[in-house]
Amino acid sequence: MNDRSQMLKGTLEGCILQIIGSSETYGYEISEKLKANGFPDISEGTIYPLLMRLERNGLIAATYRQSPFGPRRKYFRLTEAGKQELDSFWERWVALESAVRSLFAAKGDVRE
């Protein structure tokens, strides 16, 4: 896995936690929300393994519900540990963004 993939994976985990933290949701809906918010190339094949890992690590919990459009869906919600991890992710993200902006500003290369 290259560096870009590693960086994206960590970012996606935080974004998925944010989506789930906003409201209980299922995999396809998470995929659509990611696409609508600037992640057009993220496939469900990328999302589902992340969801499984988040669930295995106790950050999200799942409930199966009947869908009016077909088979049951697995809905995800944040656990208390997931809420704490989301807060921690946000703090790390803000610090990282600040550090990168500072580095570019020091070079006189501020990009928006």
Q: Which domain holds residue 59?
A: 3-106
Of 11, 16, 28, the C-alpha closest to 78 is 16
Return the residue matching tokens 């106790």.
58
Residue 27 and residue 47 in contact, taking contact as beta carbons nearer than 8 Å:
yes
The CATH number of residue 26's host domain is 1.10.10.10
- Assess if residue 66 is contained within a domain: yes
- Position 111 scores a pLDDT of 60
Residues with Cβ within 8 Å of 98's Cβ and at least 6 positions away in sequence, in order, are none
Tell me, what DSSP letter sits at residue 61?
E
- The predicted-structure confidence for 62-112, as pLDDT tens digits, reads as follows 999 988 888 899 999 999 999 999 999 999 999 999 998 888 887 776 665
- Assess if residue 112 is contained within a domain: no
Phi, psi of 31 (to 5 degrees): -55, -45
Mean pLDDT in residue range 52-71 = 93
- Assess if residue 64 is contained within a domain: yes
- Assess if residue 45 is contained within a domain: yes
- Assess if residue 111 is contained within a domain: no
How many structural domains is the chain composed of? Answer: 1
